[in-house]
């Protein structure tokens, strides 16, 4: 029986076997031992959204004969479904791109859809994609939303606060994916590091669609989760993000964008230190070893090792960060129009007060 940490490290190594010879040797040795806990592998790889990627990498390495036949058939089935879905997502993205270009708007496709369009994966069936993420300029943002609405796209909640980084998810009948229209990638005060102008400057065209450069996609993959969702503090890292950042690092090894913000440098370095640990130190994942990165890795390893003490500590930190975020929004509301509008709206909402006192467990629409 493999524990969580053992399973995580095994699956992670499997994702690199076609690029890292040392990991290929280690994985084949494990497979030959016939001691692999496939139930744990399936559960973890599914939870981390890399089940099709696991299959594709094992197939390319000619390792499928080590797996139970029933599992291989299941992997083929799931990957075929995902490949078909991703082809529909690509077609839908191209349709949206054509629509916006006709209206003199150039969207830049990001994250999973951007990776699919720019050919990051050897097999489009590898990546499990949720939404179609695209960014447009601040000037084109409202017009883009209106154009999509005219094309029968709609959001469950049309409430949007200007400081948020994307409009509520928009869906259309008979279209496979929801669409997230971004006007920014990172929340304040980091917005300028990956704004539309920066992304456009280094973007390139693929199938007539503009996509963010591999280097900017690398930054987006890491920083959006770390900053916007505060996952830096909870040290929550999914293998889907690790796999994307690994593949992107292979394509960005020759170019290094200079970033001077100390917080962003710290976030990137500590993420890369953990990702490198998980992937068994791949050649393209360079990071600076310092006291901070050592401390971060140590905490992360305790978390995935199910240390109750560390998990309690993280829970307290998360609570503190949530309070700090609310205070920061309140502070911004005195100097920033976008935030003051949001704060005023919240204070008028009765459910907001009920939630603060634990009397309303439902999630507000805004």
Average pLDDT over residues 155-172: 74
Return the half-sphere exposure (C-beta side, CA atoms, 13 A cut-off) of residue 167.
26
pLDDT (mean) for 83-110: 97
* pLDDT greater than 70 at residue 325: no
Mean confidence (pLDDT) of the chain: 87
Per-residue pLDDT band for 365 (boundaries 50, 70, 90) equals very low
Domain boundaries, the chain: 4-306
Is residue 366 over pLDDT 50?
no
Q: In 3-state terms, what secondary structure has residue 156?
A: coil
% residues pLDDT > 70 (the chain): 84
pLDDT tens track for 281-307: 998 888 999 999 999 999 999 999 988
Q: What does the pLDDT look like over 33-68, one tens digit per residue? A: 999 999 999 999 999 999 999 999 999 999 999 999
Q: What percent of the chain has pLDDT over 90?
A: 66
CATH dotted code for 4-306: 3.30.460.40
- pLDDT digits 0-9 by tens, 171-221: 999 999 999 999 999 988 898 899 999 999 989 998 899 999 999 999 999
Q: pLDDT higher for 127 or 359?
A: 127
Distance CA 99, CA 208 (A): 12
What is the DSSP pairing of strand 179-182 with strand 209-211?
unpaired
Residue whose entry in the numeric block shows the structure tokens 């909870």: 234
Tokens of 8: 């995580």
CB 237 within 8 A of CB 300: yes
Beta bridge partners of 132: 179
Whole-angstrom distance, CA of residue 17 vs CA of residue 14: 5
Which range of 142-151, 224-233, 314-323 scores highest in mean pLDDT? It is 142-151
Helix, strand, coil percentages, rounded to 5, for the chain: 60, 5, 35
What is residue 91's three-state secondary structure? helix
User: So what's the pLDDT on residue 309?
Assistant: 85
Joined together, the tokens standing for residue 361 give: 């467990």
pLDDT digits (tens, 9 = 90+) for 336-360: 566 565 555 555 554 544 454 455 5
Specify the 3-state DSSP secondary structure of 182: strand
pLDDT digits (tens, 9 = 90+) for 227-258: 888 888 888 899 999 999 999 999 886 667 77
Q: How confident is the model at residue 330 (pLDDT cuts 50, 70, 90)?
A: low
For 176, residues 6+ apart whose C-beta sits below 8 A from its C-beta are: 85, 88, 89, 92
Written as six digits, the tokens of 89 are 């997502």
């Amino acid at each position: 029986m493999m524990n969580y940490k053992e399973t995580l490290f095994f699956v992670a190594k499997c994702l690199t076997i076609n690029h890292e010879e040392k990991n290929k040797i280690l994985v084949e040795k494990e497979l030959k031992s016939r001691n692999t806990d496939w139930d744990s592998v399936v559960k973890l790889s599914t939870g981390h959204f890399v089940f099709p990627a696991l299959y594709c990498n094992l197939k390319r390495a000619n390792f499928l004969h080590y797996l139970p036949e029933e599992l291989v058939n299941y992997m083929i089935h799931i990957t075929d479904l995902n490949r078909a879905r991703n082809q529909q997502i690509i077609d839908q993205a191209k349709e949206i791109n054509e629509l916006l270009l006709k209206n003199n708007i150039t969207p830049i496709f990001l994250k999973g859809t951007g990776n699919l369009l720019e050919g990051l994966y050897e097999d489009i069936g590898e990546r499990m994609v949720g939404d179609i993420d695209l960014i447009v300029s601040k000037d084109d943002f409202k017009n883009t939303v209106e154009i999509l609405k005219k094309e029968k796209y709609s959001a469950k909640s049309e409430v949007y606060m200007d400081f948020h980084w994307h409009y509520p998810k928009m869906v259309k009948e008979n279209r496979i994916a929801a669409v997230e229209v971004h006007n920014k990638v990172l929340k304040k005060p980091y917005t300028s590091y990956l704004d539309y102008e920066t992304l456009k400057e280094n973007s390139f065209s693929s199938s007539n669609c503009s996509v963010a450069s591999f280097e900017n996609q690398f930054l987006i993959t890491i920083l959006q989760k770390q900053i916007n969702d505060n996952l830096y503090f909870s040290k929550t890292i999914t293998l889907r993000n690790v796999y994307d950042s690994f593949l992107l690092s292979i394509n960005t090894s020759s170019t290094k964008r200079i970033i001077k913000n100390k917080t962003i440098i710290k976030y990137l370095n500590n993420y890369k230190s953990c990702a490198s640990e998980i992937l068994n130190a791949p050649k393209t994942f360079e990071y600076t070893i310092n006291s901070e990165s050592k401390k971060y890795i140590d905490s992360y390893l305790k978390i995935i090792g199910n240390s109750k003490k560390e998990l309690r500590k993280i829970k307290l930190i998360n609570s503190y960060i949530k309070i700090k975020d609310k205070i920061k929004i309140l502070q911004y509301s005195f100097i920033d129009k976008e935030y003051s509008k949001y704060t005023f709206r919240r204070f008028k909402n009765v459910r907001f007060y009920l939630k603060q006192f634990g009397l309303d467990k439902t999630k507000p629409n805004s």
